[in-house]
């Protein structure tokens, strides 16, 4: 459990808390950049489209600055030793996403569509709610280990969230994927985004208790430690649920995300490579099995293998086909190395979901290869800081939860960006922070809040030991 | 737990790395092909962002541009217009907001939009001085009078095509195809108007296939007009060097290795006929035997020198005309009289006539004379280029005299031009097609005109598919020759 790279464990605990730098000022400095960059981008879009600085520039800048400032102050007060990179990177991504959503709002081509709404004001509201949720997490979740108590409640909660879209009358089918629920008066929610966090809590709590049984009771066959039959239970259950999601919600991405997250956490908990092998075999078997009889999945794979054919079919008006994949590829290609410049591309040709699932294509066209690589590296930074937090955490529950959340985040980025760029078949998920969508923004701010909470605990200097009456006389030496 | 954690960190890094590599692939390696993909709408948006340059014939533009109107959102600012669109369609092709561009409109798109690399410096200068981007012009070699004569003549006959070439340079003078279409009817982007017009022109809705450029893209059996090629081969390979000496030609003639007799059309004097008379009366027996005696290799050599079996780019692509490469003796005989698998574009037969008229030298056909910058500076001028020499000057002149006999007193009398100093040489053809010749044959005529100063201003090929005509009346001389005559006359008159 000891983590050699954690600076706090290098101290002998008798010396007590030599102040580990809290890095809060670093965070503040980075946050300034995270606010200023989107403000400049916003001005840039306005100048490119309307030849004038957008009238909302000041209020946008102040608003984003205020939200970031609140976030920062709350971290300073409630999680002073937290990782200094998570908040600024999330703010930057969220701010850039807002700018591009506003930019797509200005598109005449999208305005001509029937169901057009101004998305940027809503997204700003969601962002405010997201940061509020972030604040709530930090203020009320004083110690992440509290979550451990809710292991089985989390399980039930996650199952409910996952199954909600299947409830008749509540679930909504958007382009073949049933991952939405419609709540009258509130709009639609993607419960899968929240289920991601709740499931991570359940997996962490469950695996923390069962890890020894899963890890040690095994037989060795050809260099692999095979688990006992009855220990296979949980992985088979999760696998079955993933397959059910795939079949009934026809969403490859969500299914892959949950199963992948579970395999990652199982591997970390047990240190058994055999679980990875099992996981890969089972997901391969599941994917192939479902793809053979599920036409929606087949079609997605077809569209991925030959996006041009899919485009042609959609132009001929064949139902169920969409031009989006090809349009996204054209957007990326037309952007080239440096992009057309903000506000000067035609990524709105993607039309449906241009500002949500496909928003990365707008980055690709207008900021080019350079911009997309920067965005991807920012995501990479969040993921690696999350894994770093897991390494530094001192309790197994915190370790598992942090790696589960970071791993899920990484898988989500991979599945969405890979789908939009044509690396893997397209699935119906959104780029965290960038894409338009309340569920996604809220859930991801909560995720960052939990990671910050774990990292605060992990980086916090070890508490001074209770005063020892013998301390004067005896020198305690610990390794 | 830390060892697996580090591995997970590497795994997540690899996921991001895979995305970065994929991004480099689509935004760097494949960027240009995606960007210039004709189906990528950005290409059309750029194409119509400014008024398009014009295609010019005889100093007058045959195209134009107007501001797109309409209430619906339209991302194309300008729309293409055409003057006499149907007549010029085989030359211009179309540039449609909804349906893309073809032929000159497509090939010369860089010049017409002003995006060509050669206009880069000017474009940059315009950007600095704040001028809007403009397109350049494409100046064609076509002759408006000849084109009109060709198109009007074909309209009277229904389906057909004409190609006319200046034999001395290879410049295309006329390129007509009927039935035709007016590209301005679907130049816009409206589903209701342009989409409907487009649908009506598609082959599945219109069996006449008006959008087919018959002059360049349809290959027809050439029938007897191909005997000019066979005659050239006979002269060139020394089989019958003297056109007025008797040939060794039985009539009726049984094709080698078969019991099938090759018939002549009607009761014509073909037994041992001279080469001149064989061409004059269009003897199948004589030319079938010539081809069979020469053998397929020598026939193929001559045919390919005339341009057969190769696509031509003028710069519009013209389909490759076909002279079979694998055949036995009777098939060689049939191929040599323009039957079996021999099939040619009208352009190809005009090239044959032009090579004969130009004393044996075939010039590379071309239809773009100049490409101009928006300020009319010439950025590229096409120089006439020699393509091949299918026959010697001496033999070419012999063949000219033979073709002149055909027009003077043979099957091609309807092509005569009764003006002082004008000599016309030609050859008729009536090509059978359909199983057992069940369909109406194609009427062919190829010819050239020479002036008394020895120059040769025009060679022309005409093909008419007349489904309404009485079968017996169809003959190259009756249907196609008058059109050829009018085209040639138009060219000669415009030179005066």
Q: How many H-runs (helices) and E-runs (strands) does chain A carry?
A: 16, 5
* A474 domain-assigned: no
pLDDT at B416: 83
B428 SS3 class = strand
Q: Residue A1's pLDDT band (boundaries 50, 70, 90)?
A: very low
User: Which of A112, A391, A422 shows the shortest C-beta gap to B2?
Assistant: A391
Cβ A86 vs Cβ A451: under 8 Å: yes
**H-helix or E-strand spanning residue A390:** helix A359-392
Per-residue pLDDT tens over the stretch A180-228: 777 766 667 888 889 889 999 999 998 898 888 777 766 666 666 666 7
B16 and A383 within 8 Å at the Cβ level: the answer is yes
Beta carbon pairs, A and B, within 8 Å: 142
Each residue's pLDDT tens digit, A365-392: 999 999 999 999 999 999 999 999 999 9
Q: A269 to chain B: which residues are within 8 Å by CB?
A: 1
- So what's the pLDDT on residue A8? 46
Separation in Å, CA of B10 to nearest CA in chain A: 9
pTM of the shown model: 0.71
Predicted confidence band of residue A20 (pLDDT cuts 50, 70, 90)? low
B163 DSSP β-pair partners: B175, B461
What pLDDT score does B243 carry? 87
For residue A139, tell me if it sits in a domain.
Answer: yes
The number of residues making up chain A comes to 479
- Determine phi and psi for B343, rounding to 5 degrees: -150, 140
Residue A464 belongs to a domain: no
Asked whether residue B436 carries a pLDDT value surpassing 80, the answer given is no
Tokens of A335: 């952007």
Closest C-alpha to B75, from B41, B115, B107, B113: B41
Mutate to test the interface with A, among B15, B41, B44 (most CBs of A within 10 A): B15
- Which residues on B lie below 8 Å from A414 (Cβ)? 15-16, 18-19
A-contacting residues of B 39-78, CB under 8 Å?
39-42, 45, 72-73, 75
What average pLDDT does the segment B179-191 reach?
89
User: Mean pLDDT in chain B?
Assistant: 88
Phi, psi angle pair for A263, to nearest 5°: -65, -40
pLDDT higher than 70, residue B437: no
Q: Give the residue-averaged pLDDT of B293-311.
A: 91
Q: What is the mean pLDDT of residues B303-311?
A: 93
Domain for residue A1, yes or no? no
Q: Write out pLDDT tens, residues A143-165.
A: 999 999 998 899 889 888 888 88
User: Which residues in chain A have their CB less than 8 angstroms from residue B31's CB?
Assistant: 332-337, 369
Q: Which of A276, A212, A264 is nearest to A1 (CA)?
A: A212
Q: Which residue of B has its CA nearest to A396?
A: B1
Active site residue B455: no
Say what the pLDDT of residue A74 is: 96
Let me know if residue A466 belongs to a domain.
no
Q: What residues contact A107, with CB distance under 8 A and at least 6 apart?
A: A348, A354
Which of A328, A330, A350, A368 should we substitute to test contact with B (largest number of B Cβ atoms within 10 Å)?
Answer: A330
What pLDDT, on the 0 to 100 scale, is given for residue B326?
86
User: How far apart (Å, rounded) are the C-alpha atoms in residues A354 and A332?
Assistant: 13
A473 inside domain: no
Does B10 contact chain A (CB < 8 Å)? no
What is the number of H-type helices and E-type strands within chain B? 18, 20
Q: Do A410 and B12 touch (CB under 8 A)?
A: yes
For residue A360, is it within any domain?
yes
Tokens encoding A243: 């397959």
Do residue A368 and residue B1 have CB atoms under 8 angstroms apart? no
Burial class of residue B415, CB neighbours in 10 A (0-12, 13-18, 19+): buried
Higher-confidence residue of B100 and B489: namely B489
pLDDT over 70 for what percent of chain B? Answer: 96
Which residue do the tokens 């709408």 mark? B41
For A222-231, A275-284, B97-106, B443-452, which range has the lowest pLDDT when averaged over its residues?
Answer: A222-231
| Structural domains of chain A, count | 1
Q: Tell me the DSSP string of A124-160.
A: HHHHHHHHHHHHHHHHH-S-GGGGGGGHHHHHHHHHH
For B186-237, where are the alpha helices, taking DSSP H only? 196-201, 214-217, 227-236
Topology adopted by domain B217-369+387-495 = Beta-lactamase (3.40.710)
Mutate to test the interface with B, among A5, A332, A392 (most CBs of B within 10 A): A332
Domain annotation covers residue A310: yes
Question: In DSSP terms, which residues pair with B305 in a beta bridge?
Answer: none
Q: Name the average pLDDT for chain A.
A: 85
Q: Say yes or no to pLDDT of B414 above 70.
A: yes
- Nearest-Cα distance to chain B for A49, in Å, is 14
| Angle between the N-to-C axes of helices A57-78 and A119-140, in degrees from 0 to 180, rounded to the nearest 10 | 10
Section B427-453 average pLDDT: 81
Residue of chain A whose alpha carbon sits nearest to that of B30: A333
DSSP label of A228: P
């Amino acid at each position: 459990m000891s983590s050699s790279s954690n600076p706090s464990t290098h101290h002998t605990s008798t010396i007590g808390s030599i102040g580990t730098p809290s890095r809060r000022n670093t965070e503040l400095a980075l946050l300034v950049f995270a606010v200023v960059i989107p403000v400049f981008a916003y001005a840039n879009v306005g100048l490119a489209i309307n030849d004038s600085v957008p009238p909302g520039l000041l209020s946008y800048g102040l608003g984003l600055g205020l939200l970031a400032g609140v976030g920062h102050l709350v971290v300073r007060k409630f999680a002073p030793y937290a990782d200094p990179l998570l908040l600024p990177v999330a703010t930057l991504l969220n701010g850039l996403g807002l700018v591009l959503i506003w930019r797509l709002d200005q598109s005449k081509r999208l305005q001509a569509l029937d169901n057009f709404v101004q998305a940027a004001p809503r997204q700003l509201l969601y962002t405010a709610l997201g940061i509020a949720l972030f604040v709530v997490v930090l203020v009320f979740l004083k110690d992440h280990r509290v979550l451990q108590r809710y292991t089985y409640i989390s399980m039930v909660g996650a199952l409910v969230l996952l199954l909600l879209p299947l409830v008749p009358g509540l679930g909504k089918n958007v382009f073949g994927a049933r991952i939405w629920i419609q709540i009258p008066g509130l709009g639609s929610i993607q419960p899968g985004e929240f289920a991601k966090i709740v499931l991570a809590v359940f997996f962490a709590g469950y695996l923390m208790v069962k890890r020894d049984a899963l890890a040690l009771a095994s037989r060795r066959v050809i260099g692999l430690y095979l688990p006992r039959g009855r220990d296979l239970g949980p992985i088979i259950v999760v696998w079955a649920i993933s397959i059910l999601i795939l079949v009934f919600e026809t969403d490859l991405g969500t299914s892959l995300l949950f199963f992948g997250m579970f395999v990652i956490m199982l591997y970390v908990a047990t240190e058994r490579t055999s679980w990875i092998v099992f996981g890969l075999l089972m997901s391969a078997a599941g994917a192939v099995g479902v793809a053979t009889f599920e036409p929606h999945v087949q079609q997605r794979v077809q569209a991925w293998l030959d996006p041009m054919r899919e485009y042609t079919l959609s132009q001929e008006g064949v139902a169920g086909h969409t031009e989006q994949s090809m349009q996204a590829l054209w957007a990326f290609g037309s952007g080239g190395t440096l992009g057309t410049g903000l506000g000067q591309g035609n990524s709105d040709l993607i039309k449906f979901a241009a500002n949500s699932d496909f928003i990365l294509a707008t980055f690709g066209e207008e900021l080019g290869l350079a911009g997309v690589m920067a965005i991807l590296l920012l995501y990479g930074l969040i993921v690696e800081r999350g894994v770093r937090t897991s390494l530094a955490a001192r309790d197994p529950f915190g370790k598992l939860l942090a790696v589960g959340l970071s791993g899920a985040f990484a898988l989500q980025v991979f599945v969405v960006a890979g789908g939009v760029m044509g690396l893997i078949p397209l699935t119906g998920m959104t780029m965290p922070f960038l894409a338009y969508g309340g569920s996604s923004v809220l859930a991801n701010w909560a995720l960052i809040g939990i990671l910050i909470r774990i990292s605060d605990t992990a980086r916090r200097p070890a508490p001074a030991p209770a005063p020892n009456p013998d301390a004067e006389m005896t020198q305690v030496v610990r390794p | 737990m830390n060892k697996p954690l580090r591995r997970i960190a590497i795994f997540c890094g690899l996921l991001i790395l895979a995305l970065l590599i994929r991004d480099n692939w689509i935004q760097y390696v494949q960027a240009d092909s995606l960007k210039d993909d004709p189906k990528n709408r950005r290409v059309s948006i750029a194409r119509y962002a400014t008024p398009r340059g014009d295609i010019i014939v005889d100093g007058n533009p045959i195209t134009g541009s107007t501001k797109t109107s309409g209430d619906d959102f339209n991302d194309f600012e300008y729309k293409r217009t055409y003057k006499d669109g149907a007549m010029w369609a085989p030359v211009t092709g179309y540039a449609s907001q909804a349906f893309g561009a073809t032929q000159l409109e497509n090939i010369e798109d860089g010049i017409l939009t002003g995006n060509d690399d050669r206009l880069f410096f000017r474009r940059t200068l315009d950007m600095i001085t704040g001028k809007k981007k403009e397109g350049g012009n494409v100046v064609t070699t076509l002759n408006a009078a000849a084109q009109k004569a060709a198109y009007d003549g074909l309209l009277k006959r229904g389906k057909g095509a004409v190609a006319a070439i200046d034999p001395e340079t290879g410049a295309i003078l006329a390129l007509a195809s009927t039935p035709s279409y007016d590209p301005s009817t679907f130049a816009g982007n409206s589903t209701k108007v342009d989409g409907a017009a487009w649908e009506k022109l598609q082959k599945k809705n219109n069996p006449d296939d008006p959008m087919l450029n018959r002059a360049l893209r349809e290959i027809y059996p050439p029938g007897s007009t191909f005997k000019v090629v066979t005659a050239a081969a006979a002269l060139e390979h020394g089989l019958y060097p003297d056109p007025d000496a008797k040939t060794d030609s039985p009539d009726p003639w049984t094709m080698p290795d078969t019991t099938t007799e090759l018939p002549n059309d009607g009761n014509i004097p073909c037994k041992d006929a001279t080469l001149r008379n064989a061409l004059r009366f269009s003897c199948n027996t004589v030319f079938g035997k010539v081809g069979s005696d020469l053998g397929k290799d020598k026939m193929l050599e001559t045919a390919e020198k005339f341009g057969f079996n190769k696509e031509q780019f003028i710069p519009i692509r013209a389909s490759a005309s076909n002279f079979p490469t694998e055949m036995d003796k009777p098939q060689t005989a049939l191929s040599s009289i323009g039957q079996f698998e021999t099939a040619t574009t009208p352009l190809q037969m005009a090239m044959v006539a032009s090579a004969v008229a130009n004393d044996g030298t075939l010039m590379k056909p071309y239809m773009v004379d100049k490409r101009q910058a928006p300020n009319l500076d010439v950025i590229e001028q096409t120089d006439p280029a020699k393509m091949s020499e299918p026959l010697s000057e001496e033999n070419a002149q012999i063949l000219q005299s033979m073709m002149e006999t055909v027009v003077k007193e043979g099957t091609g009398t309807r092509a005569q031009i009764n003006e002082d100093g004008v000599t016309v040489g030609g050859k008729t053809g009536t090509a059978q097609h359909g199983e057992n010749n069940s369909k109406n044959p194609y009427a062919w005529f190829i010819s050239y005109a020479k002036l008394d100063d020895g120059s040769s201003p025009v060679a022309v090929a005409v093909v008419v598919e007349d489904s309404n005509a009485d079968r017996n009346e169809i003959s190259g001389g009756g249907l196609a020759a008058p059109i050829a005559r009018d085209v040639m006359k138009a060219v000669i008159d415009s030179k005066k």
